[in-house]
Structure 1
Amino acid sequence: MTTRVLLLGGTAEARELAAALVDRPDTIVVSSLAGRVADPRLPVGEVRIGGFGGPAGLARWLDTHRIDVLVDATHPYAARMRSSAVRAAGETGVPYLRLERPGWTEGPGDRWHRVPDLDAAAELVPRLGRRAFVTTGRQGLAAFLHLTGAHLLVRVVDEPTIPLPENVTVLRDRGPYRVTAERELLTAHRIDVLVSKDSGGTYTMAKLDAARDLGLPVVLVDRPAPVALPATVTEVAAALAWLETAPPRR
């Protein structure tokens, strides 16, 4: 019997899971990417790019393509997609699994300031420094543009589509990053405060290590409030194990 899996991806964990499933003779996996990055890292196997049209559109897609299992491995901050996936899975009776890497943990020497959202992060920045390295993504950049009294070095994958003031320098790059290079970047730009989301994982963790080495404060934006989910795992191996015993579609 063949199991048809829809894998909501865009993360390193999603690509790893797709690679583990694609050659299984009893599994058909389709990876879905939101399409917010112009040149995304594509997983192996079949890929679709773009939205579904909310929970109702996703439910129709699950039915039309006879999906047996829905694995949501989207970014920890993709709260809207996660909500749509849970609702669509519930409406169609498709078993749902959330694969989400753990957040980062503060250690000795870290100077972290946790805040609930981007607006709170922007409010805190001027109290901690005047040259900020902002790594919260292109879509949330507008929250920081009123900080005319500080210089902002913003790292993004794609060029911002909104007008930027003169105090903003754009650095286009994507991980994974190395601690040595991150430390050199912070030093070269005379950064005195780092702004990040609590993305977790190893791809972008080097900036936190570099900030610790340099004694810099970090403004860390917390993840969206957790919601009740049918099933959640934090590692690809656990997701594979869950798929072996996933309940049938109702």
Structure 2
Amino acid sequence: MHVLILGGTTEARALATALHPRVRVTSSLAGRVAEPRLPAGEVRVGGFGGVDGLVAWVREHHVDAVIDATHPFAENISFNAARAAATAHVPLLALRRPGWVRVDGDDWHEVASLEEAAGVVGDFGWGHLPGRSPRGRVFLTTGRMGLAAFAECPQWFLVRSVDAPQPPMPARTEVLLDRGPFTLEGESELLSRYGIDVLVTKDSGGAATAPKLRAAREAGVPVVIVRRPAVPEGVAVAGTVGEAVEWVGVVGVVGGF
């Protein structure tokens, strides 16, 4: 049985480890990170060339099932995977870690897009604390690919990403290159050291980057959080690696493997 796993997320790597070597596993990475953490099994890097390219690859390599374990905000590849799986007549599962849940004390402001987030970062009463800039200081943790949405914002931005971002980006930006998992102590110290007024993040879920939310809650820092897009209609969804492994087992039995 040959399973194609799309994505280089923590869950994707854990799933590859759980399946390999009992099942032939190929993990497909987008190639956006210079030094990705490689999963078990076979690995390919780069795009497929759209839906038709993915269909051709699935057929050429005799893929029996596809698991979309991409980042919850990798909307394009998820919809391409849904269309390709339907065309190639192979089963598809979306592996999605649960989103974060608001708790008492959180000051969350949910928005639908990065553009909407950029439009509201100026709504939080900048300069309300001693020593803070009247234009505000924003901790932006939405990844390096979406900085263009904030390019016209006058605030000062601390941008954290694995690899260095490229323009366009806000004029007043400091880049912090780092990779999770992060700790509560480290996130709290960072908010204090940089005098952060507001945190902007996507609802990516997971434990690796969740400490920033608790740090913001304890420091009284508001959070602008971008809601995740929906999984394509009709695609089965698993919330854990264990559920995905069970799904592969069912597909294998049905397929006669």
Aligned equivalents of 2:234, 2:9: Cα separation in 1: 19
Q: How many residues align?
A: 244
Matched, 1:248 2:255: yes
Structure 1 consecutive aligned stretches of length 4 or more whose deviation exceeds 4 Å: 163-166
Supply the distance in 2 between the matched residues of 1:226 and 1:9 (Cα, whole angstroms).
15
- Taking the aligned partners of 2:47 and 2:255, their CA distance within structure 1 comes to 26
Closer, same or farther: CA 74–163 of 1 in aligned 2, 3 Å: closer
Q: Which SS does the other structure have where 1:59 is aligned? A: helix
Q: Are the counterparts in 2 of residues 34 and 49 from structure 1 also a CA contact under 8 Å?
A: yes
Match of 1:138 in 2: 144
> What are the superposed Cα offsets for residues 26-82 of structure 1, whole Å, 9 maximum, x if unpaired?
x10000001111111111221100000011100000000000111110000011000
1:197: Cα distance to partner?
0.2
CA RMSD across the alignment = 1.3
The question of 1:50 aligning with 2:46 is answered yes
Task: Determine the C-alpha separation between the residues in 1 that align with 2:108 and 2:226.
Answer: 10
User: AA paired with 1:140?
Assistant: G
> SS state of the match for residue 34, structure 2?
coil
Alpha-carbon distance change, 165 to 132 in structure 1, aligned in 2, over 3 angstroms = closer
**Alignment counterpart, residue 8 of structure 1, candidates 6, 23, 26:** 6
Return the letter of the residue paired with 2:177. R
Q: Which residue of 1 aligns with 2:132?
A: none
- Aligned-partner Cα distance in 2 for 1:198–1:189: 23
Deviation at 1:164, TM superposition (A): 4.8
Which amino acid is the alignment partner of residue 203 of structure 1?
A
- Tell me the CA shift for residue 138 of structure 1: 0.5
- Is the partner of 1:30 in helix, strand or coil? strand
* Structure 2 residue 27 is matched with structure 1 residue 31: yes
Q: Name the amino acid aligned to 1:86.
A: A
TM-score normalised by the chain length of structure 2: 0.92
* 1:18 partner amino acid: A
- Which aligned pairs between 1:21-170 and structure 2 lie closer than 5 A? 21-24=19-22, 27-128=23-124, 129=126, 130-148=136-154, 150-162=155-167, 164=169, 166-170=171-175
Letter in 2 for 1:215: G
Residue 203 in structure 1 maps to residue 208 in structure 2: yes
Offset, 1:224? 1.5
Counterparts of 1:63 and 1:40, CA distance in 2: 27
Cα displacement string for residues 86-114 of structure 1 (whole angstroms, at most 9, x for unaligned residues) = 11110111111110111111000000000
Q: Secondary structure at the match of 1:152?
A: strand
2:16 corresponds to which letter in structure 1?
Answer: A
Q: TM-score, normalised by structure 1?
A: 0.94
| 8 Å Cα contact 2:153/2:170 also seen in 1 | no
Amino acid at match of 1:156: S
- Given that residues 95 and 248 in structure 1 are in contact (C-alpha distance below 8 angstroms), is that contact kept between their aligned partners in structure 2? no
Residue pair 1:98, 1:229 contacting (<8 A) in 2 also: no
In the alignment, the residues of structure 1 paired with residue 6 and residue 244 of structure 2 have an alpha-carbon distance, to the nearest angstrom, of 13
Cα distance in structure 2, aligned partners of 1:173 and 1:29: 29
